[in-house]
Amino acid sequence: MHAFVAPVAVSPLVEVAFANGKPGAVVFVDHSLTPRYGCKGKGKGAAQWLQSLGLPLPAAPNRWLPLAEEGLIARLGMQEFLIDGNADVVARLQASPPPADVAAVLRQDAALELSGPGLSELLLQTCAVDFAALDLAEQPVVLTRMTGVGVTVIPGASSYRIWCDGTYGAALWESLYAVAADLPEPPAQSLHSTDRSSEHDA
Q: Which residues bind other proteins (CB under 8 A)?
A: 1-2, 4-12, 14-15, 32-33, 40-42, 100-103, 105-108, 121, 124-128, 130, 132-133, 147-149, 165-168, 170-172, 175, 178-179, 182
Cβ atoms of residues 97 and 51 within 8 Å: no
Distance CA 80, CA 184 (A): 39
Compute the distance between CA of residue 89 and CA of residue 70 in angstroms, rounded to an integer: 10
Looking at beta carbons only, is 69 or 95 nearer to other proteins? Answer: 95
Q: Nearest to residue 31, comparing CAs of 77, 76, 4, 71?
A: 71
Q: Which is nearer to other proteins, 48 or 69 (CB)?
A: 48
Compare residues 9 and 137 and give the one whose CB is closer to other proteins: 9
Question: Among residues 67 and 111, whose Cβ is nearest to other proteins?
Answer: 111
d(CA 167, CA 28): 18
Shortest separation between residue 41's beta carbon and other proteins, angstroms: 5
Angle ∠(92,94,97) on CA atoms, nearest 5: 105
| Nearest approach, Cβ of residue 2 and other proteins (Å) | 6
Contact 39, 46 (CB under 8 A): yes
Nearest approach in angstroms of CB 171 to other proteins is: 4
Q: How far is CA 61 from CA 29, 52, 58, 151, in A?
A: 26, 19, 7, 15
CB of 52 to other proteins, least distance (A): 18
Could you tell me the smallest distance in angstroms from the CB atom of residue 103 to other proteins? Answer: 4
